[in-house]
A = this chain, B = another copy of it.
Amino acid sequence: MNDLSQYAAYLENQIKNLKLDDEPRNLFDPPRYFLSLGGKRMRPILTLISGEIFNIPKEESIHAALCIELFHNFSLIHDDIMDEAPVRRGKPTVHIKWDSKTAILCGDVLFVEAFKQLAKYPDHRFPLLLKRFNETAIEVCQGQQFDMDFESLPDVSESEYIEMIRLKTSVLLGCALELGAILGNQDEEARRNLYGFGVSLGIAFQIQDDILDLYGDPELFGKQVGGDILSNKKTLLFLKAKEIALSTNDSRFDKLVQMQPANDKIEFAKTLFEEIGAKNASQQTMNAYYDQAMENLQQLEQKGLRTDTLRELAKFLLTRKL
């Protein structure tokens, strides 16, 4: 993973050196704070790797990478307000540390900063980069809205759920990779395969996250385990369990939903989902998306492109301890 940690270090340094204005401090301190919280920087790393496949030096692809990362941070800050999330990366979210007003404007500023990064490219690269970025940005908003809508819907199908996570989290991974291909002046096929790899990887990663939320080692997972279950969140695991319970007349799922949010609810869900096969079914769906991602890589390899770093990254992201 030496390569990946080098990318991460390079990015961290570039993010640290981002020039934001100074005044008013209440406008620019919050984005500085949020950017300093770290994170895996997975999305901008994808842009750098993608660029490198087409011999674009990181000094050139960095602006697209930063655009993606700034946009990602913008969307996290606004999502955290909407989801009323108190903690992000172990630290208070912006609307908690300051207030919601500050957090709204903080997100807005990072959004503009994302576009400012794109504006650094020469004329002929520009329109396609912006077009794909704009399309993705709208999709991310759509995903967030679907996610919020789902909370109050009595029923969500598995395909609706997958479409929601595709929009909310995965298209940005696809876009991160595609921007590198656009910089590399690639034809549509290469762009489509890189985009597809990112989207499928993103969906697989999100499903893994759903599984880890219940079955992860708290120390390795870095979040409270069982949060989704306590709030009856409609994750893939939950939807699979619901579907299986319905078709087998298993009343334990209804019992689970009605349980008060406490530790015994988490334990009950862990056992139930394993017993009725919901955990296994979710892992299979995750693997199917992982395979799709690998298929995209094969297509790229057949065109003579080197995809070993992407392959390595995919393995790294999807073998976190369950």
Contacts and interface: CB of A to CB of B under 8 A. Distances in A.
A258 B126 CA distance: 56
Q: Is the interface of A mostly helix, strand, loop or mixed?
A: helix
Given A24-B149, A145-B24, A149-B24, A134 B116 contact: yes
Contacts of A148: 26, 101
Interface stretch (A135-143, A230-238, A275-283): A135-143
Interface in A25-41: 26-27
A79 to B, nearest CB: 9
B23 A108 contact: no
Contact of A105 (B109, B116, B124, B144): B144
B119 A127 contact: yes
A82 B119 CA distance: 29
Nearest to A74: B108
Contact of A108 (B100, B111, B131): B111
A101 B23 CA distance: 27
A10 interface: no
A27 to B, nearest CB: 4
B27 A141 contact: yes
Interface residues of A, number: 39
Interface in A75-126: 78, 81-82, 100-101, 104-105, 107-109, 111-113, 115-116, 118-119, 122-124, 126
Contact of A127 (B24, B111, B126, B131): B126
B141 A130 contact: no
A138 B115 contact: no
Nearest to A132: B119
Nearest to A144: B105
A81 B101 contact: yes
Contacts of A78: 104-105, 108
Contacts of A21: 138, 142
Contact of A112 (B101, B127, B134, B144): B134
A244 B171 CA distance: 59
A27 B111 contact: no
Contacts of A134: 112, 115-116, 119
Contacts of A127: 119, 122-123, 126
16 contacts: A21-B142, A23-B142, A24-B146, A26-B148, A82-B104, A101-B148, A104-B104, A104-B107, A116-B134, A119-B130, A119-B134, A122-B127, A123-B127, A126-B126, A126-B130, A130-B130
> What are the 10 tightest A-B residue pairs by CB atom distance, in nearest-first order?
A27-B145, A82-B101, A112-B137, A123-B123, A24-B145, A119-B130, A116-B134, A109-B141, A126-B126, A112-B138
Given A78-B105, A81-B104, A104-B104, 10 more contacts: A24-B142, A24-B145, A82-B104, A101-B148, A105-B144, A108-B141, A112-B134, A112-B137, A119-B134, A126-B130
